[in-house]
Chain A
Amino acid sequence: MTQPPSDADIKAGLASAGYICNDRIALTLFLARALEKPVLVEGPPGVGKTELARASAQYFGRDLIRLQCYEGLDEAKALYEWKYGKQLLYTQVLKDKLGELLRGTDNLAEAMERLYQVDDLFYSRRFLEPRPLLQALTAEQGTVLLIDEIDKADQEFESFLLEMLADYQVSIPELGTLQATTRPLVLLTSNNTRELSDALKRRCLHLFIPFPDAELERRILASRVPGIREQLRRQLVAFVQEVRTLDLKKQPAISETIDWARTLVLLHAEALAPELVTDTLNVLLKHEEDIRTVQDQLRQLFSRLFKG
């Protein structure tokens, strides 16, 4: 067996998968693999929580299975469901066979007894429709399981996850307990719309991803928007970092920075100019109020950033 990758390896590996991260994130993945613990990733929207799962799946060479949470998500949609239609169809098609099987029985009790011997067939793995959680547990080569926006799901669902997160197993009444063949790497993300239960937090490593610092953001941009010029990249990151210090309804995240950079590259911009910013600000900011706030302070921002 080969040596498990160290956190430096993971950092480099993620970078090759297009995800530039800091030491803390790399260490998290290292510990998650070594301790076989799920990771709860929190942070403002758009800092790359979901992207982290995608990149680590690519790096570890595993399939990514994604479970998007929403209000009303339940076991049937997350874990498994019986293929009722198929069960019905089979009983219809096999009517003759069943008749044959039951032929020669004298009374009801005997017929029941015979039927009883085959009824497990209809509740076997064949008729089980695996949903994301079950898929992640049964995959042979292991997977990266992303449980996205767990805070959107109901509290009951959160409790339901506990068994799976602690022991990597699930209980299906008809079949018994299923153990994971290869333990999946589980990432849960939360946007903090509500407090998660302590029981859930206790079972996870907790990673908080804040907005990146200027250095990191520049590197992310260089990796994600290859065509961008050095000067524009520096200016753009400085501008975004400065905008984040303003009092805004929704701070621009990395995904917005990347979108903005792509827009500017499309427009063949060489450097930031106030007019250019005014025209394209709606890519960076998603609220009319915020756009107005920034526009009002555009001159000061520019003079502070680029002249001083």
Chain B
Amino acid sequence: MDQQLVAFINALRKNGVTVATSETLDAARAVDLVGYGDRRRLKSALGLTLAKSESELARFEQCFDAFFQFNDLSDIKPHAAKPDHQPAPRQRAEGPADERAEGPADAAPTEAGPTQATSRLGQMLLTGDRQALANAMAQAASAAGVSDIKVITQKGLYGRRMLLAMGLEALEQEMWQAEADSDPARQQRGRALRESLAQLRQEVKQYVERQYLLHARGDSRALREAVMRETPLANLHEFKDVQGLVRKLAKRLETTHSRRRRVRQRGKLDVRSTLRHNIPHDGVLLETHWKSQRVDRPRVMAICDVSGSVSQYARFLLMFLYSLTEVIPKVRAFAFSSDLGEVTHWFEQEPLERALELTLHHLGGGATDYGRSLTTFCEHCLEQVDHRTSVIILGDARNNHGAPRTDLLQKIHGRARRVIWLNPEPRRRWGSGDSEMLRYQAHCSWAEPCQSLKQLERFISNLLRYSQ
């Protein structure tokens, strides 16, 4: 099968478009039908067979443009004296693996005129045969193995290899000889060659850069994301693109959980459905159908400690919760350090970053007081906690030796569907020093450490799975 197509599909996969083998076969059949001749048709046909969602289509188009965009090399002016050598403008979409590249090499003249170059590369440059140049470049690229490029520092190396494969040495020899010659025509040719070569270097550099973006960026992004997911949340703000990653993780959770499940209620017969399904059996009730109930979306009340030490963790929890509005439509957020306040309205009206900023500004900074915060929560909101509400508390439970008021937590637990405590500290430190975690833990449905995005993602996935 077509080498070029396989290479392109490899590049697609590296850029996050999943392509199955069967789709590769489809694409090959589509290319057979459509051909490489018309760039737009080729793009549409490949897009139809390979990209299977709107976002994949966007990535596909980016990739296609980078991969099949061959330099028109229009910067390299033809220096040829003979005007009939001017090449006709060609389609840029011509498949790079074209055999035509061999053309000029066979016809290498033995005795060159003063304006004609002897080396093959020199000829191409001076006649300005863009098509031949583009083809030669593609061949040199595969000879140099440019698609194996891994890191950005290899750019120079691969560029050099490509130039060598295109016949740089012969060209340089010729150029030096021509420049040293006494004949002014030959000297001029040498200058023209030097000029063209500089442009060619530029083109090759750009080509390698594009290949790097195409092949290596995907790999390094995957690595980076894996690192980000394991990094403790407190250090995560050093990564610039972390919000993008959170959004991506949230999107994945959303698609996994967007289907509303039903649970069968054993013991409650759905009489109508049972009768209907048993008509074929002449009314004899063979199949039973049980009543079922939809699994409710969770109603979440998130209470976050935003005092200095823990505010970074709260930030990511809230980021997650508010990126999941599709599957968790009702989130009420509360924040506290020395006292508690509701911040839902900020998150609903302002963009995420701004809302976080406001929260930290108004409620962060004080000395943590869990007892007082729980009291405030109970005064204002205990009424609204009902058997459908999941209460998530995020904090390290370090109460500065104040009264922990576990009785209040017990009250909340009594009313809510469940109370979940997320603690940014590892389990072995719970209960050490002024940490009241062990006492609070007794009144939670479950408590778990939450230190990295990976743990946070797992927690939210569980929250959605068991929300009934």
Q: Is B52 an interface residue (CB 8 A)?
A: yes
Which stretch, B21-29, B104-112, B137-145, B336-344, touches the partner chain A? B21-29
Question: Which of A23, A37, A84, A206 is B52 in contact with, Cβ under 8 Å?
Answer: A206
Beyond A31-B33, A35-B26, A35-B30, whether A205 also contacts B41 by CB under 8 A is no
Contacts of B280 in A (CB 8 A): 82, 84
For the complex, is A201 an interface residue (Cβ under 8 Å from B)?
A: yes
Complex CA distance for A155 and B29, rounded to whole angstroms: 30
Task: From A30, A88, A205, give the contact of B49 (CB < 8 A).
Answer: A205
B345 adjacent to chain A (CB < 8 Å): no
Least CB separation from B281: chain A residue: A84
If A31-B30, A201-B53, A208-B57 touch, whether A194 touches B48 (CB-CB below 8 Å) is no
Q: How many residues of B contact A (CB 8 A)?
A: 27
Instruction: Let me know if B266 is at the binding interface, CB within 8 A.
Output: no
| Complex partner residue of A23 from B30, B40, B259, CB under 8 angstroms | B40
B192 at the interface (CB under 8 A from A): no
- Interface check A275, CB cutoff 8 A: no
Beyond A28-B48, A194-B258, whether A23 also contacts B29 by CB under 8 A is: no
- B47 CB, nearest partner CB in chain A, Å: 8
Pairs A-B, 6 closest by C-beta atoms: A201-B52, A195-B255, A205-B48, A206-B52, A24-B44, A27-B44
List residues of A (84-142) whose CB comes within 8 Å of B's CBs.
84, 88
Residues of chain B within 8 A of A207, CB atoms compared: 48
B18 touches A198 (CB 8 A): yes
B23–A202 touching, CB < 8 Å: yes
Which residue of chain B has its CB nearest to the CB of A42?
B54
A148-205 with Cβ < 8 A to chain B:
155, 194-195, 198, 201-205
Closest B residue, CB atoms, query A193: B258
* Chain A stretch 250-294: residues in CB contact (< 8 A) with chain B: none
- Scan A17-34; emit 1 where CB is below 8 A from any B CB, else 0: 000000110011011001
Alpha-carbon distance A34/B48, docked complex (angstroms): 13
Contacts of A30 in B (CB 8 A): 33
Please give, as numbers and ranges, the residues of chain B lying within 8 Å of A206 by CB-CB distance.
47-48, 51-53, 57
B393 at the interface (CB under 8 A from A): no
Nearest CB on A from B273, distance (A): 10
Q: CB within 8 Å of A: which of B30-47?
A: 30, 33-34, 40-41, 44-45, 47
Contact A88 B259 (CB under 8 A): no
| Cβ contacts under 8 Å, B255 to chain A | 194-195
Which residues of chain B come closer than 8 Å to A208, judged between CB atoms?
A: 54, 57
Contacts of B34 in A (CB 8 A): 27, 31
* Distance between Cα atoms of A42 and B41 in the complex (Å): 20
Tell me the minimal C-beta distance from B297 to chain A in angstroms: 14
Residues of A within 8 A of B47 (CB): 206
Q: Confirm or deny: B226 has a beta carbon within 8 angstroms of a beta carbon on chain A.
A: no
Known: A27-B41, A27-B44, A202-B23. A194 touches B259 (CB 8 A): yes
Residue of B nearest to A43 (CB): B54
Interface residues on A, range: 20 to 34
A88 touches B282 (CB 8 A): yes
Q: Is A23 in contact with B44, judged by CB distance below 8 angstroms?
A: yes
Shortest Cβ distance from A154 into B: residue: B259
Beta-carbon contacts of B374-413 to A below 8 Å, as 1s and 0s? Answer: 0000000000000000000000000000000000000000
Contacts of A202 in B (CB 8 A): 20, 22-23, 52
Cβ–Cβ contact A23 & B18, under 8 A: no
Q: Does B164 contact A (CB under 8 A)?
A: no
Q: Interface of A with B (CB < 8 Å)? A: 7, 23-24, 27-28, 30-31, 34-35, 37, 40, 42, 82, 84, 88, 155, 194-195, 198, 201-208
A-side contacts of B18, CB under 8 Å: 198
Contacting pair A34 B54 (CB below 8 A): no
Q: Given A195-B258, A206-B52, does the pair A35, B44 have CB atoms closer than 8 Å?
A: no
Q: List 15 A-B contacts (CB under 8 A).
A: A24-B48, A28-B44, A31-B34, A35-B26, A35-B30, A88-B282, A194-B255, A195-B255, A195-B258, A201-B52, A206-B47, A206-B52, A206-B53, A206-B57, A207-B48
What residues of A have a CB within 8 angstroms of the CB of B23 in the complex? Answer: 202
B25 CB to closest chain A CB (Å) equals 10
- Produce 1/0 per residue, B306-331, CB < 8 A to A: 00000000000000000000000000
State how many angstroms separate the Cβ of A68 from the closest Cβ of chain B.
20
B263 within 8 A of A: no
CA distance A198 to B23 in the complex (A): 12
Residues of B within 8 A of A7 (CB): 41
| Shortest beta-carbon distance from A142 to chain B in Å | 20
A203-B45 Cα distance, complex, nearest whole Å: 15
Given contacts A31-B30, A35-B33, A206-B53, 11 further A-B pairs with CB under 8 A are A27-B44, A34-B33, A35-B30, A37-B26, A195-B255, A198-B18, A198-B20, A198-B52, A201-B53, A202-B22, A203-B22
Q: Does B279 contact A (CB under 8 A)?
A: yes
Q: In the bound complex, what is the Cα–Cα distance between A254 and B34 (angstroms)?
A: 30
Q: What residues on B are CB-neighbors of A23 within 8 Å?
A: 40-41, 44
- Are B259 and A155 in contact (CB-based, < 8 A)? yes
| Contact flags B250-264 to A (C-beta < 8 A → 1, else 0) | 000001001100000
When distances are taken between beta carbons in the complex, the residues of chain A under 8 Å from B40 are: 23
Contacts of A201 in B (CB 8 A): 52-53
Query: Bound complex: CA of A203 vs CA of B279, how far in Å?
Result: 36
Q: Whole-angstrom distance between the alpha carbons of A206 and B54 in the complex? A: 9
Which residue in chain A gives the minimum CB-CB distance to B56? Answer: A206
Q: Which of B29, B45, B51, B258 contacts A27 (CB 8 A)?
A: B45
Q: How far is the CB of B27 from chain A (nearest CB, A)?
A: 10
Contact with A along B51-76 (1 / 0, CB 8 A): 11110010000000000000000000
The interface residues of chain A lying within 8 Å CB-to-CB of B54 are: 42, 208
Closest-by-CB residue of A relative to B51 is A206
CA distance A23 to B45 in the complex (A): 11
* CA gap between A195 and B56 in the complex, in Å: 13
B9–chain A nearest beta-carbon distance, Å: 14
In the bound complex, residues from chain A placing their C-beta under 8 Å from that of B49 are 31, 205
Bound Cα distance A7, B41 (Å) = 10
For residue A32, which residue of chain B has the nearest CB? B48
- The answer to whether B29 touches A35, judged by C-beta atoms less than 8 angstroms apart, is yes
**CA–CA, A7 and B26, complex, Å:** 18
Taking CB as reference atom, which chain B residue is nearest A206? B52
* Nearest A residue (CB) for B19: A202
CB distance from A267 to the nearest CB of B (A): 37
Minimal beta-carbon separation of B234 from chain A (angstroms): 33
Q: Which of B26, B57, B255 has the most chain A CB within a 10 Å cutoff?
A: B26
Q: Tell me the nearest residue of chain A to B25, going by C-beta.
A: A35
Taking a contact as CB atoms under 8 Å apart, the answer to whether A27 and B48 are in contact is yes
Q: How far is the CB of A139 from chain B (nearest CB, A)?
A: 25
